[in-house]
Structure 1
């Protein structure tokens, strides 16, 4: 997978972390589908953590398990959508075709898969941008993370704005 190979090149070889093989069955049973293969391969290799000090990804066996977070986020956003339907372009899982949560960033944005195809590897990424609506990314999880890191700007200790450094911090 070219995107996953590039992401691994940018982030470096995953540190060896002792964990049992990932059991995706409960999460995929809830979703009603497999999840995108590069997403699962990334998490199987790196585990849960923070990418570029900004983008948080969840794992089925993480401190906050992916399935637990999915239930919470889907419920919260479904309730918000029921109160303000004009503010939300998409339904949330378990509604048919509803967005499927996988992470967030420290800027307050939530990130979801849009199950727009029978093949999960063709799903898009939707970002619910804090107070700005939705942004749709037509590409894989790996390609999204690379694009996210490429556009991320951070302020260094001297107050200068610079590009973010690709990194992964497990938690």
Structure 2
């Protein structure tokens, strides 16, 4: 995958390198959705990680920083009345819903918009909690992360957190 190669070139050699498909299979069966390949590839390569001391990603195979647990808890939280009014759509894993997959220390939540139909692509949505603005980026997760690492405006900004260039710390 080209995006993963570019991400590795900017972020550095991944150390997690998860190869067991079983945790993804269980999570996908439970949620009734197949995650996009680029999201799985990045997560499998880097595992539970904090990027630029800002962006947190978890993995479904990790016993403590488990992506499935985080998604389940986040969906429940986002469906509460107060939180539900903030999002432009329903949090969840069904067609057209917003699947919470990551967060940032700067108060943003990163969602994957589940395709509403077979011809619709995945997209990345970012909810800013300080302004309550939601921005949908019509791009794959890999392209969104690559733009973030390059310092482009994808709602979550890396410039102040990584002035010397992108970096990551494993949380595994």
What TM-score, normalized to structure 2? 0.82
1:51 aligned partner: 51
2:126 aligned partner: 127
Cα 1:139–1:95 change in 2 (3 A) is closer
* Equivalences, count: 162
Unaligned runs of 5+ in 2: 153-157
Q: CA RMSD in A?
A: 2.5
1:65 aligned partner: 66
Cα 1:33–1:85 change in 2 (3 A) is closer
Counterparts of 1:2-151 in structure 2, within 5 Å, are 2-15=2-15, 17=16, 21-22=20-21, 23-62=23-62, 63-79=64-80, 82-83=81-82, 86-94=85-93, 96-118=95-117, 122-132=121-131, 133-149=133-149, 150-151=151-152
1:159 aligned partner: none
Cα deviation, residue 117, structure 1: 4.6
> What does the per-residue CA deviation read over 1:58-104, in whole Å, with 9 as the maximum and x for residues that have no partner?
1002222111111111011100xx34655321111155522111110
Greater share of residues in helix: 1
Decide which of 144, 153, 162 is 2:159's aligned counterpart: 153
3-state SS in 1 of match to 2:74: helix
> 1:69 and 1:120 mapped to 2: Cα distance?
28
Unaligned runs of 5+ in 1: 156-161
Task: Tell which structure's C-alpha radius of gyration is larger.
Answer: 1
